[in-house]
Amino acid sequence: MAAHARPAPDPLPALDPLIDGRPQPSADRTELSGVHGQPLADVGLAPRLMAQGAVHTVRAAAGGPAPDPALFARAAKLLTEEQLAGETPQRYVGRVALSTGLASCAVRRSLAELAAELAELPQVTAAELPSGELGEGLRTRWVPRGRVFAAVMASNHPSPHGAWAQALFHGYGVLVRPGSRDPWTPARLAAALLAAGLPAGRLAVLPSEHPVGEFLLEAADVGIVYGGESAVGRWRGRDSVAVRGPGRAKALLDTPLTDEVLDHLVHAVSFDGGTRCTNLSVLLVNGPPAETADRIAERLSRIPALPVTDPEAVLPAVGGERAGQLTRQVARLAEGLEDHSARFDPRPVAVRLPDGSYCPRPVVLSAPRHDHPAVGTELPFPFVIVAPWEPRDGTAPLRDSLALNLLTARTGLVTDAVAEPTVRKVTTGAVPPWHTAPGIPHDGSFTGFLLEPKGVVGDLP
């Protein structure tokens, strides 16, 4: 019998920089592989010269009236329901799950969250800005701080892409440098906005190397940068750049560990696979931490390790090289600490899955004191360090928290925590650290960052 030739594999989808509403083919290319080790996309990278051209295009198109708010409501519906640039919502979810290692259920949820954020932009703006009407002929008008906004994104979660959509809502022209593992989310969001009627010149999406992202932040009037401390550190202290680094979310347990409280803490550690900046990474306990750490570790050990495309998956996945890095990092962190997870799950830190990816299993450590050097470490999976706290410690161990969850009846402590400048958000009781509503600041008022007040005295045209 004649041998049958194997069919040629399907070509990889190509993702090129988007400028003025059109893909711009680039000779600089990289192959994006998934956590399962298979190629997913052929990505064109914007070189510095192309990025310079994009800055000029966006700056020329920016200014004038902000887009109609109805545009963002239309884009929200398109984002979750329609095929955009040949991609269905279901296909988008699968691609992001495999490229980032985020479980598909978390990607699907984040897409809905992103759409809700678009639709709620008018309510967010109204909630975050004071009334500008101060009397007859006396007004304050909130206006953009510039014309061009740059966003340098990370790949840990799709939800933060709402930040640059908010800049568009207020009339900025926007330049986006995607995270290296998630070019899909900005491409889909851009396609939805353009299909809803956004002027093409107001937005550019530029996959690129890190130096080009830094150039965009320098060239823009204002911007935002996401990432670990090494990525965001140089931008701290610049009033033109909003920095979104490690969250170091904490909880204080100053009440009995009931089943309801245990459910809440486990959820706060493991939701979306522990990949959000608001997932708990530190739990301070009034008393010895070992028993609490054991109970959390036992509950977390029940979460199954599944490929991220499995609808039941909760935990994230990583590639083989990253799995080795995380294993070594956890081993270093565990030196001098007690590893409670190993008592309930003897498997390696990163478990190899049938599709070739690795699932980092939850890790719970306990420290002998709250100021141990490991306390405050964040890892991209359910990881928490439990440490002791005493009332005399006050708020000092609670500092430097994007979100702080207080399980306590000490009203004075809650008041002090709200007043602490390095705590950005406080929740009390069994409320998830990420719970919000339009107008509740995430890390300060982002509307207040994008806009500045301008006095107007006299009649307006």
d(CA 172, CA 146): 7
Residue 185 has pLDDT above 50, yes or no: yes
Q: Domain ranges in the chain?
A: 17-130+145-245, 249-428
> How would residue 14 be classed by pLDDT, with cut points 50, 70 and 90?
very high
> How would residue 352 be classed by pLDDT, with cut points 50, 70 and 90?
very high
For the domain made up of 249-428, give the CATH fold: Aldehyde Dehydrogenase; Chain A, domain 2 (3.40.309)
Average pLDDT score over the chain = 94
Percentage of residues in the chain having pLDDT higher than 90:
84
Residue whose pair of structure tokens reads 């610049």 in the numeric block: 238
CA 124, 277, 168, 225 torsion: positive or negative? positive
| Termini Cα distance of the chain | 85
Contact between 79 and 189 under an 8 Å Cβ cutoff? The reply is yes
Residue 23 has pLDDT above 50, yes or no: yes
> How would residue 62 be classed by pLDDT, with cut points 50, 70 and 90?
very high
For domain 17-130+145-245, the CATH class is: alpha beta
Q: What average pLDDT score do residues 62-76 get? A: 95
What is the pTM (predicted TM-score) of this model?
0.94
Residue 233 has pLDDT above 90, yes or no: no
CA 23, 26, 32, 38 torsion: positive or negative? positive
Which of the 8 DSSP states describes residue 258? -
Residue 69 has pLDDT above 80, yes or no: yes
CA 185, 188, 191, 192 torsion: positive or negative? negative
Q: What average pLDDT score do residues 7-18 get? A: 82
Q: What is the pLDDT of residue 3?
A: 52
Residue 437 has pLDDT above 90, yes or no: no
Q: What average pLDDT score do residues 125-130 get? A: 88
Give pLDDT tens digits for 258-286. 999 999 999 999 999 999 999 999 999 99
d(CA 317, CA 323): 9
Q: What is the pLDDT of residue 98?
A: 98
Of the ranges 293-307, 377-391, 443-457, which one carries the lowest mean pLDDT score? 443-457
Q: What is the pLDDT of residue 6?
A: 58
d(CA 224, CA 452): 16
